Chains A and B, each alone.
Chain A
């Protein structure tokens, strides 16, 4: 399509941004969206900080109940998956469409493994009666109730973001197939990559907060 121009009094021309095809605008909008996500998780981190300050010792003991190895494996998996998602984006820009799709697929597989490990951890906790509102947990000290309350809320909200990420990547795969994402038209892919980066960054902070303070 021809670039539209605006003209001043002297007849000089200036390019007009097309609102229907504005790569920078779409990227900028997504960054602002990530900012809102950050504000949301930021509140939870604030709540963690305040309660950690009030119940430091009990937070340490509670943290010892979590399996640092499973959490660690999950951290590595998410790190690698960010790398593959980044590669997928890079391949798309280099017009290697097939390789790009494979890398997205690999990311999805790793995200699913992450969720499975997480689900296993949760089910072990719940099996031991450690979940919000359970009689066993409510009988414990207040610091422990708050630690596990925050643990389930924060890893739960993060897990929800992983599920959304999987859905988004499935959508990206469909778009690659249908030609909706092409080397010269890849803003959706770019934004999903940004999103996945954000999801892994949150986990990088969650991991030491919940798993490592008790080690």
Chain B
């Protein structure tokens, strides 16, 4: 059967030129691959920026970077990783590919809008990077663009702000598309509580995209107007209020971290059930906890501002609400552990990444509670402790889940199997390297090493050197994955429709899937993860009618 690599539909009908066939395609699977291509190129650029910073910090004192260049580098790293990579991240890349397959749909609700999202994304990327070419250098504000510095600095902040605004539009359009698709295009019979949990993660994420992104959009627009027309809303000399900027910024940017993690949580549930060969423990609890993390996560932004001079009452409320987020998150972690209990655990590469991510994320999540406690936060605010906490959740958590998901769906996307041994070596390098890179920073931060400084006191040297070695291991782990995936494309063996013995709908069609996924739409009156004696319960014939054995 011809796959979506062989035939496609574009927004202008048919094209002979293969490049146009890709960049104007309306097929959700091709758009997902377009996103992946751009996103991972940028990811490796941002990784090199990080490795450069680690090299600079290997010894105390100035080495080969100027302090200003260092500020530009961490801004470049932050802006690229946050706005260009991890926010579109799992939804735009894996979600775009997998969501319609899991729902039993032929595409998203609005395929052309989906293409438009990608084009907005590319324009956003080009705008952000235009600052690199223009001679003024990249923004040096950090990815947070705090006023009033972002209003005053003569570095090139405008293109970056405009880019973040355009990327916001892209993100909103993807969110709308996903919400409508999940409401309208579930296969007949599939109620909300028969959806796979990855879909629940994407659904919660899509609502955050829709509700929170407009807030950052208008806020950044105001900073743009502030820099060009001097409106005065965030400018203290004109009666404006920079703290108000921080509020508005974090009203988006805190939910944004849940936007990053929730689809990752979804991947965890998918991979765990497949590689324990049993149904998920507490399906409803996990589904509802995704939605409640999204809901509570909207109300905790003030914990970024505990030292900004907001009132004690506000600080206590924000601290309490932040602690509340730990409840649904804890529910998920307990459910996953209960799923492992008495399962037939298979330690395949995707499973290793997912188990690793649970370990890392637990450390990241618990240190988040340390930071949410007001007293502790006053000591730890703006130190490496915060940076370590953040990277434990996002790199050790989200990125590990993302990589686990990429391994898990690699056979579905490419039709090939990667090399298992190389996969495990890459995981080993990353897991050890990651913990070497970030754990010392908890200690350095606790002892008072401030973040975003280009230099440090000689007493902190040992922590920075362990981290430097860890960074090299992480980078080599990432390159191993890249090599493994590339080799798999060339000489991996054929995957077949269902190499992992998984249960959800995407594994019932050929790998790689055909253009409109399902020739006939199945009727779904079963739960997403039904196993019996380690084998999937549900089977379909070639007309997607269920076969009873």
With A35-B211, A36-B210, A36-B214 as known contacts, state yes or no: A17 contacts B230, CB within 8 Å. no
Interface assignment of A57: CB less than 8 Å from any CB of chain B: no
CB–CB A43/B188 < 8 A: no
Task: List CB contacts (< 8 Å) of A1-18 with chain B.
Answer: 4, 6-9, 14-17
How far is A39 from B209 in the complex, measured between Cα atoms in Å? Answer: 12
A143 touches B239 (CB 8 A): yes
Chain B 222-238 near chain A by CB (<8 Å), digits 1 or 0: 10010001111100001
CB distance from B392 to the nearest CB of A (A): 31
Asked if A15 and B107 make an inter-chain contact with CB atoms under 8 angstroms apart, the answer reads no
Beta-carbon contacts under 8 Å, A88-115 to B: none
Question: Per-position contact with B for A47-61: 1 when CB-CB < 8 Å, else 0?
Answer: 100110001000000
Residues in A with CB closer than 8 Å to B210 are: 32, 35-36
Assess whether B452 is interfacial by the CB under 8 Å rule: no
Chain B residues 168 to 190 lying within 8 A of chain A, measured CB to CB, are 172, 175-177, 179-180, 183-185, 187-189
Summed over the interface, the residue pairs from A and B with CB atoms below 8 Å come to a total of: 125
- A133 within 8 Å of B by Cβ? yes
With a cutoff of 8 Å between Cβ atoms, the chain A residues found around residue B493 in the complex are none
B344 to chain A: closest CB distance in Å?
28
Cβ of A83 under 8 Å from chain B: no
Which chain B residues numbered 118 to 173 have a C-beta less than 8 Å away from chain A?
172
Question: How many chain B residues touch A (Cβ–Cβ < 8 Å)?
Answer: 50
Contact B109 A132 (CB under 8 A): no
Chain B nearest CB from A30 CB (Å) reads 9
Does B230 lie within 8 Å of A133, measured CB to CB? yes
Residue A44 at the chain B interface, CB threshold 8 Å? yes
Chain A binding surface, main DSSP class:
helix
Please tell me if the beta carbons of A153 and B239 are within 8 angstroms of each other in the complex: no
> Do B238 and A138 touch across chains, with their CB atoms under 8 A apart?
yes
Contacts of A55 in B (CB 8 A): 239
Judge whether A171 is part of the interface by a CB distance below 8 angstroms.
no
Q: Is the CB of B108 within 8 A of A19?
A: yes
B50, CB-defined interface residue at 8 Å: no
Given contacts A6-B521, A50-B244, contact A33 B239 (CB under 8 A): no
Contact assessment for B217 and A14 in the assembled complex, using a CB-CB cutoff below 8 Å: no
Report the separation of the CA atoms of residues A44 and B219 in the bound assembly, to the nearest whole angstrom: 9
Using A29-B180, A153-B225 as known contacts, list a sample of 10 further A-B pairs with CB atoms less than 8 Å apart, ordered by residue number in A. Answer: A9-B545, A9-B546, A25-B109, A29-B109, A29-B179, A32-B180, A36-B210, A37-B214, A41-B218, A149-B233
Please report A residues at the B interface, Cβ cutoff 8 Å.
4, 6-9, 14-17, 19, 22, 24-26, 28-29, 32-33, 35-37, 39-41, 43-44, 47, 50-51, 55, 132-133, 138, 142-143, 145-146, 149-150, 152-153
Question: Shortest 4 CB-CB distances between A and B: which pairs?
Answer: A142-B239, A133-B230, A14-B188, A39-B214
Q: List chain B positions with a Cβ less than 8 A from chain A.
A: 105-111, 172, 175-177, 179-180, 183-185, 187-189, 210-215, 217-219, 222, 225, 229-233, 238-241, 244, 248, 520-523, 525, 544-546, 548
